[in-house]
């Protein structure tokens, strides 16, 4: 069924250096039929996140031929170049699992902010705003979810009882996972604090070797050879794209 949602396009790799200082996160809303569109995107690699307004459906990142996933690094990368035709992406959302009455809240810091641990509390460090937090039971059902605010704080108040996996994810950071144990007694209102590690989201040009690659013969007939240099002996991944990306 069509869902109304907020859709965010995160650029995880800019193709050209002169776009590096340009805004690379874009947001839009779907219409009543669930349709959305982005225009004038900076050329680069993107992941899409969809947040339905109906909380019976779990937000997530676009995954080709699958339901939306909880981690941006598991999402399908969408390449956007300067000359592209319109492409259609269908984002499918899972429904929530069994709801509960226990609460899990806390605060998220960036690990690069000079954090000091004092007892069970973290001090210092930069708050991580906009992190996507989910709580999942042992069967993979998501009972509650939310986002951290500008101070890195989050509150989930419909968490089921039992052992739950808490996942925090944000583009530009490594995902954080931990387990929480809830019950209707002393553990009915849990508070957790943790730090998320920043991730490399753009590949330095010096490491990509794309401009040192040699193709021959040119023009090619039936066979085309590719040769490139690498600073060390290792396995290499090669992807071929047509003019439509």
What residue has token string 């023009």?
A: 219
- The pLDDT value given to residue 138: 84
Q: Give per-residue pLDDT as tens, 176-220.
A: 999 999 999 989 999 999 999 988 644 444 444 454 566 667 666
Give the confidence band of 47 by pLDDT, cuts at 50, 70, 90.
very high
What residue has token string 């109906």?
A: 54
> What are the tokens at 198?
């920043």
Cβ burial of 218 (10 Å; 0-12, 13-18, 19+) is: exposed
Higher pLDDT, 125 or 51: 51
Note the pTM of the prediction, 2 decimals.
Answer: 0.75
pLDDT of 142 higher than 70: yes
* Most distant pair of Cα atoms in the chain: their distance: 73
- The pLDDT value given to residue 136: 93
Number of DSSP helices (H) and strands (E) in the chain, helices first: 1, 17
Q: Give per-residue pLDDT as tens, 146-158.
A: 999 999 999 999 9
Pairing mode of beta strands 60-61, 78-80:
unpaired
Query: Distance of CA 12 to CAs 105, 147, 156, 189, 198, Å?
Result: 29, 20, 28, 36, 13
Average pLDDT over the chain reads 83
Higher pLDDT, 238 or 102: 102
Residue by residue, DSSP assigns 201-221 as: -S--HHHH-GGG-EEESSS-S
> What are the tokens at 86?
């319109």
Query: Distance of CA 69 to CAs 73, 75, 91, 118, 241, Å?
Result: 9, 6, 10, 35, 24
**Cis peptide upstream of residue 80 (ω within 30 degrees of 0):** no
Distance CA 63, CA 128 (A): 25
């Amino acid at each position: 069924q069509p869902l109304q949602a907020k859709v965010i396009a995160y650029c995880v790799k800019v193709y050209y250096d002169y776009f590096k200082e340009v805004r690379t996160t874009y947001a839009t809303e779907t219409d009543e039929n669930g349709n959305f569109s982005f225009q004038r995107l900076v050329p680069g690699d993107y992941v899409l996140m969809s947040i339905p307004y109906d909380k019976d459906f779990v937000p997530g990142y676009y995954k080709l031929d699958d339901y939306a996933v909880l981690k941006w690094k598991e999402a399908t990368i969408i390449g956007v170049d300067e000359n592209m035709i319109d492409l259609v992406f269908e984002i499918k959302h899972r429904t929530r699992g069994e709801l509960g009455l226990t609460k899990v809240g806390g605060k998220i810091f960036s690990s690069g902010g000079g954090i000091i641990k004092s007892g069970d509390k973290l001090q210092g460090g930069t708050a991580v705003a906009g992190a996507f937090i989910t709580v999942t039971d042992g069967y993979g059902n998501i009972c509650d979810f939310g986002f951290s605010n500008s101070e890195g704080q989050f509150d989930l108040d419909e968490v089921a009882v039992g052992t739950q996996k808490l996942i925090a994810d944000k583009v530009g950071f490594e995902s954080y996972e931990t387990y929480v144990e809830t019950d209707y007694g002393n553990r009915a209102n849990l508070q957790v604090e943790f730090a998320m590690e920043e991730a490399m989201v753009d590949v330095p040009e010096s490491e990509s070797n794309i401009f040192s690659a040699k193709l021959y013969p040119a023009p090619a007939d039936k066979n085309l050879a590719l040769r490139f240099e690498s600073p060390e002996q290792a396995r290499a991944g090669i992807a071929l794209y047509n003019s439509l990306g």
